[in-house]
Structure 1
Amino acid sequence: MRLVLVLITLTVVSGLIDAVSYLGLGRVFTANMTGNVVVLGFAAAGAPGFSVPRTATSLCCFLLGAVAGGRVAARFGGGGSRRRWARLTLAAEAVLVG
């Protein structure tokens, strides 16, 4: 019964996060991170094979990346074409992944 309540709560929270992020971040959909909220809930409920520190690290890094990207876009986004911004962001992502 506890697991069912946790899953229902996580479903509601994930939906709220999706709605707030979509509406508040200029129509940006962050569904990949709401899945981590569910995994965090499993880990917090004690399900085997899930880790709170690993999932929390993923969520924190996503938050830091979103803040950094927003600040860079606000500071340097006034000029230039979309094609240039796409190239720059893809190059930065490739460097970080590499």
Structure 2
Amino acid sequence: MKKLSEDEIQEKLKDFDGWTYAKKAIHTSFQFENFKEAFTVMTRIAFEAEDQQHHPNWGNVYNQLEISLSTHDADGVTEKDFKMARAIEDIIEAGN
């Protein structure tokens, strides 16, 4: 998978509210009502990540979820990361 340039990444990020680019990855965070809601969304994302064979680097503290996506084989961000980011956004929207 081809690593995207910073310009390509910044252009694609225009379609993703709340996502940023830093340290060779795209990042976002979400806040939920409580831990149960956060963990439920993480579980849904985990199933999607397994289907795509592309797993996020993420952290969870109580109701906060932080996600970073990069393609390790490409040493940066690829289309694969944006595909996973779109799936994450769809999961979040479906939960609201």
Task: Please report the TM-score for the alignment, with normalisation by the length of structure 2.
Answer: 0.32
Task: Please report the TM-score for the alignment, with normalisation by the length of structure 1.
Answer: 0.31
* Greater helix proportion: 1
Q: Highest CA radius of gyration, 1 or 2?
A: 1
Larger RCO, structures 1/2 (Cα 8 Å, 6+ apart): 2
* Greater strand proportion: 2
